[in-house]
């Protein structure tokens, strides 16, 4: 088989894999693994879970590769699958946590419904922590809709158009939300610097 | 296309787009937004500060990136399951097809040689007849065996169950128990898999 040049696009690599060149899928993994693991890590807040889920996402994508629609970009498809998988996992974790809280507390008082995190979230606790923790906390403190866009832009390195496709949002909305999200992020990081 | 002086919000929007590489240099279409932004930034302290803060945020986010396990790609590649579309691929059929062709060819040669010895002058036709006889005999024998074995199982079950309702109840409990054991084994496998993943 003729080897494609190293500059083959993602879509060309998909075609080669579908023609039977299985190893080419490794190139796609190599291109996206860092972005995908980082994206999932910021959503799940656990590096092992992020690696496991990233692996699951690649396996899902491989199995459905023949259903890839070449009118979209591979990155868009990959991150949409990843986003859905992450949301499912977060839901499962929340359900587990709620069930644990019910078992442990027994009362009807409202409790914060969030999943366990290895990093502290309240800002006050971050004064002496590392910068990475502050960034994580600042990102975590963003409302979900803004957080996702910031992650897709900065960690997944998707363009506005790709983000619009992944999120099924109009381009203008993506721009505005990214703008707002960044403003919030800057404000929160500034608060940390002041602290 | 002529454009008026942009508002501060527009400058901020352009600044962000430029920062993300989305403003482009479509000077013919949009009046050279990039060039205008550069010109504006040179004289606007607020926009210069805004760009600096955007750079700072991006740098901090980049520094917060985590490293991927070095064996990640090989782990995924070795875990790739056979996909449905692979079986439809021509390459997937190449080995079985070659094997069948080879076996068929070998059988034809053997049968041809035998037929030539029995019926000189009709080697080719003889070879095909011999092959056909061989396959049809094998198919008939297989079908007969299958039928006989199922009939045997049916008869044995009939004998065992027709005796009394106690036998029937015992049989039902046996089947139910077997299902429960299988279910338990499946669950055990899933739990072990989940634990192994957690440990990883």
Alpha helices in A19-130 (DSSP H): 24-44, 47-63, 74-105
Quote the ipTM score: 0.75
Which tens digit of pLDDT belongs to each residue from B12-57? 888 888 888 888 755 446 558 888 888 898 999 999 998 998 898 8
| CA A133 to each of CA A37, A128, A136, A157, A178: distance values in angstroms, whole numbers, following the listed order | 17, 10, 5, 21, 22
- The Cα–Cα gap between B155 and B153 comes to 5
Q: Is the dihedral of CA B1, B32, B16, B61 positive or negative?
A: positive
A-chain residues near B88 (CB < 8 A): 66
| CA A146 to each of CA A132, A137, A176, A182, B161: distance values in angstroms, whole numbers, following the listed order | 19, 14, 10, 8, 68
pTM of this structure? 0.62
Q: Is the dihedral of CA A145, A148, A151, A153 positive or negative?
A: negative
Using the beta-carbon criterion (under 8 Å), do A33 and B13 form an inter-chain contact?
A: no
Q: Please say if the pLDDT value at position A120 is more than 50.
A: no
The single-letter DSSP state of residue A65 is G
Chains A and B form CB pairs within 8 A to the count of: 103
For residue A22, how far is the Cα from the chain centroid?
26
pLDDT for position B61:
86
Which tens digit of pLDDT belongs to each residue from B144-165? 888 888 888 888 878 777 767 7
Identify the three-state secondary structure at position B20. Answer: coil
Among A168, A164, A188, A191, which Cα is nearest to A178's? Answer: A164
pLDDT exceeding 90 applies to what percent of chain A? 54
* Range of lowest pLDDT (A5-14, A90-99, B121-130): B121-130
Q: Which of B9, B17, B33, B61 to mutate to test the interface with A (most CBs of A within 10 A)?
A: B61
Which backbone phi and psi does A124 adopt, to 5 degrees? -55, -30
Average pLDDT, chain B: 81
Residues of chain A numbered 152-191 and touching chain B (CB < 8 Å): 153-155, 159-160, 175, 178-179, 182, 185-186, 189
A-chain residues near B195 (CB < 8 A): none
pLDDT for position B116:
64
Alpha helices in A106-168 (DSSP H): 131-140, 144-154, 160-167
Which backbone phi and psi does B29 adopt, to 5 degrees? -95, -35
pLDDT for position A107:
43
- The Cα–Cα gap between A129 and B26 comes to 45
pLDDT for position A118:
43
């Amino acid at each position: 088989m003729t080897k494609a040049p190293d500059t083959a696009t993602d879509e060309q690599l998909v075609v080669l894999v579908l023609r039977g060149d299985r190893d080419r899928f490794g190139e796609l993994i190599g291109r996206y693994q860092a972005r995908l693991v980082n994206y999932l890590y910021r959503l799940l807040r656990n590096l092992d879970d992020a690696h496991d889920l990233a692996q699951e996402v690649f396996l899902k994508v491989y199995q459905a590769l023949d259903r890839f629609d070449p009118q979209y970009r591979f990155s868009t498809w990959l991150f949409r699958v990843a986003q859905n998988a992450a949301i499912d996992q977060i839901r499962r974790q929340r359900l587990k946590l709620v069930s644990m809280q019910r078992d442990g507390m027994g009362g009807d008082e409202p409790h914060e419904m969030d999943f366990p995190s290895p990093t502290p979230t309240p800002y006050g606790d971050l004064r002496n922590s590392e910068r990475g923790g502050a960034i994580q906390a600042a990102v975590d403190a963003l409302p979900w809709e803004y957080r996702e866009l910031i992650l897709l832009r900065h960690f997944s390195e998707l363009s506005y158009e790709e983000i619009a496709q992944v999120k099924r949002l109009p381009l203008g909305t993506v721009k505005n939300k990214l703008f707002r999200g960044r403003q919030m992020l800057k404000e929160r990081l500034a608060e940390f610097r002041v602290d | 296309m002529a454009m008026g002086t942009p508002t501060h919000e527009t400058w901020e929007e352009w600044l962000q787009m430029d920062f993300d590489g989305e403003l482009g240099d479509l000077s013919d279409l949009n009046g050279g937004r990039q060039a205008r932004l550069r010109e504006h930034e040179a004289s606007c302290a607020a926009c210069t500060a805004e760009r600096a803060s955007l750079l700072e945020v991006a740098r901090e986010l980049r520094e917060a990136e985590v490293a991927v396990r070095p064996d990640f790609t090989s782990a995924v590649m070795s875990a790739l399951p056979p996909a449905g579309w692979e079986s439809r691929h021509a390459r997937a059929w190449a080995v079985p097809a070659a094997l069948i062709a080879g076996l068929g060819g070998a059988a034809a040669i053997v049968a041809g040689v035998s037929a030539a010895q029995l019926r000189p002058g009709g080697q080719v036709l003889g070879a095909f007849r011999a092959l056909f006889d061989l396959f049809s005999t094998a198919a008939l024998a297989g079908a007969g065996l299958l039928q006989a074995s199922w009939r045997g199982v049916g008869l044995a079950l009939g004998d065992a169950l027709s005796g009394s309702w106690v036998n029937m109840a015992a049989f039902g409990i046996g089947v139910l128990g077997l299902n429960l054991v299988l279910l338990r084994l499946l669950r055990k496998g899933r739990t072990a898999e989940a634990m192994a993943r957690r440990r990883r």
